[in-house]
């Protein structure tokens, strides 16, 4: 049975790095998708009126991929910041314990 929640600054740092790496994939794909290189003429004379909806959809997909990348980077940054705070808190608690125990 687990002993409850445990925080590991090392695990948080690893998570931050993995999230930053994962954020590269959707950002790279977004650049391949949007803006589209297709133009209304490519839809043919009869179907050109459908191009606006196509382009809007492609732009939304690109924006979604970029948004996902940004969210992953922000999440990783928050986890990294929290890990740094845990490290600082652990060091302060250790110093306080050493002082209380007379181990200066």
* CA distances from residue 87 to 3, 44, 51, 59 in whole angstroms, order as listed: 20, 61, 54, 42
Q: How many domains does the chain have?
A: 1
pLDDT tens for residues 13-30? Answer: 999 999 999 999 999 999
Position 3 pLDDT exceeds 80 = no
Evaluate whether residue 63 is within a structural domain: yes
Q: Say whether 17 sits in a helix, a strand or coil.
A: helix
The model carries a pTM of 0.74
Within a domain: residue 33?
Answer: yes
Domain boundaries, position 87: 10-95
Tens-digit pLDDT profile for residues 57-92 = 999 999 999 999 999 999 999 999 998 888 888 888
Q: Is residue 100 part of a domain?
A: no
54, part of any domain: yes
Q: What is the four-CA torsion angle of 90, 91, 94, 98, rounded to 10 degrees?
A: -170
């Amino acid at each position: 049975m687990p002993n409850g929640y445990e925080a590991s600054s090392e695990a948080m740092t690893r998570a931050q790095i993995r999230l930053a790496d994962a954020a590269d994939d959707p950002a790279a794909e977004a650049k391949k998708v949007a803006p589209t290189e297709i133009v209304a003429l490519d839809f043919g004379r009869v179907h050109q009126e459908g191009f606006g909806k196509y382009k809007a959809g492609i732009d939304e997909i690109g924006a979604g991929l970029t948004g996902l990348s940004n969210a992953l980077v922000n999440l990783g940054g928050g986890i990294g910041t929290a890990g740094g705070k845990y490290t600082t808190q652990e060091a302060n608690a250790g110093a306080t314990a050493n002082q209380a125990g007379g181990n200066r």
